[in-house]
Structure 1
Amino acid sequence: MGQPLNIGIVGCGAIVGQYLATIARLPQLRLVAVADLDLERARQAVKDHPDVAVTDVAQLMADPRIELVLNLTVPAVHAEIALLAVAAGKHVYGEKPLAATSADAQRVLEAAAAAGVRVGCAPDTVLGTGTQTARMAIDDGLIGAPIAATATMVTPGHERWHPNPDFYYAPGGGPLLDMGPYYISSLITMLGPVTSVIGAGSRTRAKRRIGSGPREGEEVPVTVDTHISGVLVHASGVLSTLVMSFDAVATRAANIEVHGEKGSLVVPDPNHFDGEVQLSRLGGPGWTPLPVSAGYQGAGRGVGLADFAATPPGREPRAGGQLAFHVLDVMESLLASAGSGRAVTVESTCERPRPVPLTDAATA
């Protein structure tokens, strides 16, 4: 009670720096060790953290000090590393998606339940003040009964800036599985679980050219759809329209809008923790900003770990495995619908995560 949660990180790629910064400033968390297939990359990641051990995966899993494994590997091995952590008796928290397939994700959840350990998963951005303030506005009835939502993510592709973008265009990647978790997690946080979907998909190019780093100019194959559109039917009856693209250039659409009988909300980018929520009410003066009223203030990637540590045993963390599994199931169902041209029932469900009161992230 009151002791920091001891963490070991597996995977020291591009995202690790953001997690390291958050762990370093949150007293609830303590980094013990890191591991990577490239030990030099792991050493460089923690070169400013002399007390953190650099080791291989097997040694990290065997380290009795480590209570939770933070899984920052590529999606294709998320399940493999998570299952190793569970087998070692450790909690596991991973980058999104929970696994490359819902079948693998189910194996992780079942193994964790049998071992008596818990599973958490990014994105934790939905715990920040942006999505949480919008959720409170909905719960407080500021837009009346919700009717519909839109979620739009458009970019010409991550290969322009990422030095090793291969996994974005391989199974487990694509705009939906890469960016969809932010948007769908936010929609579920605000509007509840999804019962069915209908989707369509396309791809414009068979190869992508890397635009930066030591592999600049190299081409990587594209084996997944790179533009996905769909409609999510929530259990509440709300209809959410989703566009996820690695093909289009730009958009002026809001990242997320939620529309109700009495008003509409503009919700900030769910890839960020904060941002301004705007409300337009029927008969009102137009779009006006709402004051920040809920969520972790000053949050960064990894605040979900602090929330995880503060969640009592037997209770699902807000950025928990059940939500992550449902999000993955929704995305797989969208892809299945895109392939078949038919609506698909989403077999899983989840509890709508508990709201986050306005809280300093350092005291999560």
Structure 2
Amino acid sequence: MKRLLIAAGGGGDAIATAMVHAALHGPDEPALVLTYAWERLVVDPVPGPRRPSDFTGTLPAGPTLRLVTPESAPRPPAGSLLPRLAAGLRPTLGLLDPYDGAVGLAHQIAEAAAYCGATRVDVVDVGGDILADGTEPTLRSPLGDALVLAACARAALPTAVHVAGPGLDSEVPEAALLPLLGDPLRALTHADTLPVQAVFDWHPSEAGALLVAAARGIRGVCGTRDAPRPVTLGAASANVYRLTLERALEINPLARALAGSTSLAEAERASEQICGFSEIARERARAARLGRETGGSAVGRAGRSGQPSPAERFARWERGTARRGIAYVTTRRIAEELALDPVELAELRDHLRTASPLRHTPPLWRLVTAEG
């Protein structure tokens, strides 16, 4: 017997789902976490979600459901951190394939329930865009979450929806979410982060990192890479809230519209009608733009001769960032804004940890300047 959970928003939500599961049920409780292989272009340069045929080494758990293992690997040119997550997280990971819409996902959820011997489903979303109404100007990625809600309704298993860290994904503001959420189910603590703490040494999830930071008691203004404004970690940031599936569907019009969808293209069209955009189309445009800017390849160390060291570049960047009132930043923001390759990033991390230990507040970095 395993508990069945669904990470509603992708690879980063799988980490938070493992943490929420451990907090609610204990780290040793067997569980299967279903998750999309739908990752940022910095990880996967191919727009949109991956499907089982995009991987080698997955294990069948039903006619359409596949499990991701540490031995699994994405087929180039696709990329994915799920195999590495499968090695770093205690729950088993199963791959959600949305290409047959909510109807196909419902079949996969039913297969997963049979595989686990589970009679109910727990959905986990970091940030709360699973409760978007489609009008939010900061909304960026509603489709995966909405498909999960629609599929759970179609699978007809008792389902609870958990929102962890309202507002931490910078999509639906915390102030808009809190009236919808009611009283918190639980506040995550430092101890709850221990099962996932090592993952953030290499995984770029920002919402997940902010949730872990909040659970560890970090409070203040945090700068992330893909957000119109900084996130403030406050009193509600470490909380987990529980809603019924029916209530989540009542709030989310896109999920209701996807109830009978049989393809991802159909789901995209529904997102365009209700939210005004398709996030996959945005990914395609961004991938094309990045390809033009880089000539199809990332800038490596060979192109940096004569430039200041990563530590020198960071010091200059840190002063300007701190002046904007930002107290903490994610590793991903440092890496992308300084255009650091993996070797340079590792060099900078080692430097910051040894030269100024106060900067390292895992999984974030505290900005420290001469001005205070």
Q: Same fold (TM over 0.5)?
A: no
Q: Give the structure with the larger strand fraction.
A: 1
Q: TM-score, normalised by structure 2?
A: 0.31
Q: TM-score, normalised by structure 1?
A: 0.31
Q: Give the structure with the larger helix fraction.
A: 2
Which structure ranks higher in relative contact order (CA pairs < 8 Å, sequence separation ≥ 6)?
1
